[in-house]
Structure 1
Amino acid sequence: MRNAPYIKSRLLIVAAFALPAFVFTNGCKSTATPSVTAPGEIATDDATLAARVKQALVADPGLRSLPMSVATYRGVVQLSGYVDSEVQIQKALAVTRGVPGVQSVSNDLHLRPQ
């Protein structure tokens, strides 16, 4: 039983280092954020904004079948791809600007070669 104080002191030292480690790692857990906003709300993150823009483009019958890509960064939406007419480009830009949360639109849409 001579080693009992030695073992107790070692256990206290280990506990003293382990407890703060558990506390700090518990504080590093990520929290889930809602990815879908209600129709009246403004989208705050880029992924949600891109989803809302894609949804608006697909809802338009004249733009539904066109191969367009949507990318967002801090509220700036970039449309890229190929369309059949200048009217479709203007319509896609108008629909995108109408989505709440869009700060500006970067147009990288091109007419398909005939």
Structure 2
Amino acid sequence: MDHYRNYLTAILLAFAMVTVGCAAPDKQQTAGEYIDDTVITTRVKAAIFDDAELRVNEIKVKTFDGVVQLSGFVSSRANIDRAVQLTRSISGVKSVRSNMIVK
């Protein structure tokens, strides 16, 4: 399982690198700030993926200047609380905005 987690982390980091090269931020940021936000997004997605209670495909993650926005449809209020808690525990996260909805 640990090998699978390392493989997933490598894929997420590769995705983050491609995203950095292809995407333009909505507002002006330095390259360092944009990379920091991409790393935060990748770490949040990995934490959600590693959590047995949450489904990574249900939750969308966006980060701008350290503010993480979570959106999507989840199964319960407990899942929303868990996703917010996990996100707050990630280094570099300044605040969390939750736009998740219980389906």
**TM-score if structure 1 supplies the norm length?**
0.58
Deviation by residue 1:6-47 (Cα, 9 ceiling, x = unmatched): xxxxxxxxxxxxxxxxxxxxxxxxxxxxx6xxxxxxxx7111
User: Which 4+ stretches in 1 moved above 6 angstroms?
Assistant: none
Q: Extract unaligned runs of 5+ from structure 2.
A: 1-16, 18-34
2:59 maps to 1:68? yes
Matches within 5 A, 1:34-113: 45-64=36-55, 66-112=57-103
Aligned Cα RMSD in Å?
1.4
Q: Which is helix-richer, 1 or 2?
A: 2
Mark the CA change 1:102 to 1:65 in structure 2 (over 3 Å): closer, same or farther: closer
Contact 1:66 1:83 in 2 (8 A): no
Quick one: which amino acid aligns to residue 45 of structure 1?
D
Answer with 1 or 2: which has the greater Rg.
Answer: 1
The offset of 1:64, in angstroms, is 2.9
Q: Extract unaligned runs of 5+ from structure 1.
A: 1-34, 36-43
CA distance in 2, matches of 1:111, 1:104: 21
